[in-house]
Every structure is written in C-alpha cells, then in structure tokens.
Structure 1
Amino acid sequence: MVSESDNPEQNSSGLIISNDDSIRSFLLSASEDVQLLRELRETALNLSSLNKVPYKSIRQIWVGSLPSIRPDLFRLFSGSEFVFTSPKPREKSEELKARLRQLAERAERDEYRELVKDILPKSSATEPFSSYKDQLGFGLHVVLIMFTGYLVGYLAFRALFNHSTAMSAAGGILGLVCGMLVETLLFIIRSSNHDNKSSATASKQKKNQ
C-alpha cells in the first residue's frame, strides 16, 4: 500500500488508488471512445495524467464503456494500490496551550531547584506567625493580656477611689494600655531572638560549606 500526504489533484472524495499502466491505458482509450459520454471522455483524459485517481470516477467510466471494449474490472485494478491521505494534525486549544506552558514553567522551576539544592543553604528556621495556628494563638494571647490588664486596672482603681465608676473605668483603660505595652515588648523580644537564631544558623551553614 502507498501512503500519501498530498490530496489528489482530482477534486473527489472516497477511495483513491494509484494510476498504473493498465488504468492509464484504459483511460486513454476511453477518452477516444466516441460512444462514451463527452463528460466521461473529458474525465478520462484528465485522469490519465495523474499519479493517483479516484476509484469512483474510474468505475463510472468503466460502466459507461461498452462491455466489448472495456477490460475486466479485476484485471484493471490488479496492479494498483490504495492511497491513504494523512489526517490533519489536531490543533490545540488556547486553554490547553496555556496549561502546557504552566506545566513547562513548573517543570523548569523544579529542575532549577533540584540543581541548586546542594549550593543554596537550607533554611531550617521557620518565620514567626507563618502558620494559621501561630497567628490564632498570638491573637488570643493579645486579647487575654488586654482583658487581664483592664480587669486588674479596674479593680485597683475601684479599691483606691471608693468604688467610683469613672475612675474604675479609667483604671481599666490604663491597665489595658499597660497590657498592650507589655505584649508589644514581649513581641519585640521574641522577634529579636528569632532573628538571632536565624543569623546563627546561616553562619553555621556557611562555615560547614
């Protein structure tokens, strides 16, 4: 069998076969047959110069010819081969192209990280409040400190100023502010300790390289 990527020059659909000597001889003789329809004679003449011809047209010319002069159909096609056309490549959609680009970029990043994993120092220390659990715990701790400061200030001023409502509220606000200041100071201390640990870890890794 013959596989062709080009379409036949004859604009026809269906089975395509190769044009060998027996078919070409039949077409030339059919183009000169005056008893054959003019349209079929012109078709036969046009097909005789092609390398591949549609089976349907050859069949029509063969049927239109006189049985006494036309060759046996099996003998006519015995030396020819089927010609198959290659399908057009399937076009990729824009969504698929974008997805493929993302996958390619991700693969490149992973490959780059794999190449430099032994060169860049590994960061063993985690950033403060990097997780949702840490953030929630810090928020609850701040609320607890503020509430405790307000309660202590409120009770202290209530005892000092003979149960005065205004002074008790002022004492509560003062205690709340003091609690916020204490929490801010503790936060600064924790951040400084974390930075010192990170610097020490990075220096140790550089020395080990």
Structure 2
Amino acid sequence: MGEVFQPYGLVLRSNSAIQKFLEVAAFSSSTGSSEILLSAKRYLSSDEVPYTVIRDIWFQMEPSQRPQFSSLLGGVTFVLESPKPREKSKELKERLQRLQEMADRKAYDALVRDVTLKEEDKEYFSSYKDQLGFGLHVIAVMFTGYLVGYMAFRALFGHDSVMSVAGGILGLVSGMLLETILFIVRSSAYEMSSTSRARPRKKSKTRQVSM
C-alpha cells in the first residue's frame, strides 16, 4: 500500500491536463531537481494537487516540454475544505444542559398549570355554586335561629309580641355568630391544608434548581 500524502496550501482538483503534465515531468530527464521529480511522481495518481507543486514543476521543466501555464490551469476547480466544528467545552455543555432542563421544566409547568390550579390552588369559594350554597345555608341558619328564639321567648313570656320578636332577633344573631365561627374554622383548616401541600412542591423545585 502506497504512502498517502496530504495536500497543503491552495489545492487544485486534478484533471486530465494536470495528470498529463505530471506524467511528463515524472518521467522526463530534463527536470532540474530530484525533489521536483519526486513531487511529480507523488501526486501523479492523486485527485488533489497543491498549486505550489504545479508551479514549481512548471518552472523547472524545459520550455519546450511544458504547456502554457494558463492553459494548464484553465477550467480547474479549487478544493475547499470546510472548517472543523469547534468542540464545546465541558463547562459550556453543562450550562447548555442546565438551560435545556430549565426550558423543559418551564414548558411542562405551562402545560400542567391549569390542572394544578384546579386541583390544588383554587380558592375556597372559587365557583358560583359554592358561593350560592353558602349564602342559602346562612339564610337558613338565621331563619332557623329566629324561629327558635321566637318560639322560646313566646313560651317563656306568654303571648307578648315584643318579647317574642326580641327572642327571634336574638336567635337570628346567635345563628349568624355560629355560622361565622364555623366559616372561620373551615377557612383556617383549608389554608393549613393548602400550605402543607405547597411546602413539598417548593422543596422539590428548590432541589431541582440546586441540581
């Protein structure tokens, strides 16, 4: 297996005219330098020939044996090598990987945001149905308290209408206070449960960012 030579500098694509020129130079005794003769033989069967080799051989050959330089290089094409891609450093690769993970995490959060809000982060009275039900419940409790107070004071004070109405008002206020206390208790319990669910999520997000 012959030795492979890597062309250097400005490189030309070899054609029939260049191959014939190199063949004449390689087997001609009039070539002035043994180094030039060796270069001609070296690139005789090569598809790519440096421009400097052709130029040096052309100057060393006898004028009677060499073709016109313009006709020799007429129609040749240049061999242009594409630059090698720069290798990314380890730090840059790690940074790009972290940025990609952050972008994927943001895209995922955007996709599940609506579901998360509906399941975990909704307010206690987020729907019209809940608000309407709570209002009707308060009215029912107040009306029941009024009736209980009215009937109780009527039984205690006979048929005194003023005391009966006063008892009804007292029962109404008592029912409203009771419903207010229950509302505060339910709201506090809901906020505590929401906070306890939110803490693990914050810890997991903090752990992911630190990684």
TM tier relative to shorter chain: 0.5 to 0.7
Residue 115 of structure 1: how far off its partner (Å): 1.3
Matches within 5 A, 1:56-67: 56-67=52-63
Scaled by the length of structure 1, what TM-score is found? 0.55
Distance in 2 (CA, whole Å) between partners of 1:88 and 1:199 is 59
Matches within 5 A, 1:1-209: 9-36=4-31, 37-120=33-116, 121-123=119-121, 194-197=188-191, 199=193
Kindly indicate whether the alpha-carbon contact (under 8 Å) linking 2:10 and 2:51 is maintained by their aligned counterparts in 1. Answer: yes
Distance in 2 (CA, whole Å) between partners of 1:21 and 1:56 is 18
Distance 1:98 1:200, change over 3 A: closer
Residue 193 of structure 1: how far off its partner (Å): 6.1
Distance in 2 (CA, whole Å) between partners of 1:104 and 1:58 is 52
Distance in 2 (CA, whole Å) between partners of 1:70 and 1:23 is 11
Distance in 2 (CA, whole Å) between partners of 1:15 and 1:89 is 21
Amino acid in the other structure paired with 2:25: A
Distance 1:49 1:200, change over 3 A: closer
Scaled by the length of structure 2, what TM-score is found? 0.55
Distance in 1 (CA, whole Å) between partners of 2:62 and 2:194 is 103
Residue 199 of structure 1: how far off its partner (Å): 4.6
Kindly indicate whether the alpha-carbon contact (under 8 Å) linking 2:121 and 2:194 is maintained by their aligned counterparts in 1. Answer: no
Q: How many residues align?
A: 129
Amino acid in the other structure paired with 2:106: D
Residue 122 of structure 1: how far off its partner (Å): 5.0
Amino acid in the other structure paired with 1:66: E
Same amino acid, percent of matched pairs = 37
Return 5+ residue gaps in structure 2 as ranges.
Answer: 124-183, 196-211
Residue 200 of structure 1: how far off its partner (Å): 8.5
**SS in structure 1 opposite 2:12?**
strand
Distance in 2 (CA, whole Å) between partners of 1:25 and 1:198 is 92
Kindly indicate whether the alpha-carbon contact (under 8 Å) linking 1:15 and 1:56 is maintained by their aligned counterparts in 2. Answer: yes
**SS in structure 2 opposite 1:25?**
helix
Kindly indicate whether the alpha-carbon contact (under 8 Å) linking 1:10 and 1:54 is maintained by their aligned counterparts in 2. Answer: no
Kindly indicate whether the alpha-carbon contact (under 8 Å) linking 1:20 and 1:79 is maintained by their aligned counterparts in 2. Answer: no
**SS in structure 2 opposite 1:119?**
helix
Kindly indicate whether the alpha-carbon contact (under 8 Å) linking 2:23 and 2:40 is maintained by their aligned counterparts in 1. Answer: yes
Question: Which has more helix, going by share of residues?
Answer: 2
Distance in 1 (CA, whole Å) between partners of 2:190 and 2:64 is 107
Amino acid in the other structure paired with 2:79: V
Distance in 2 (CA, whole Å) between partners of 1:116 and 1:197 is 22
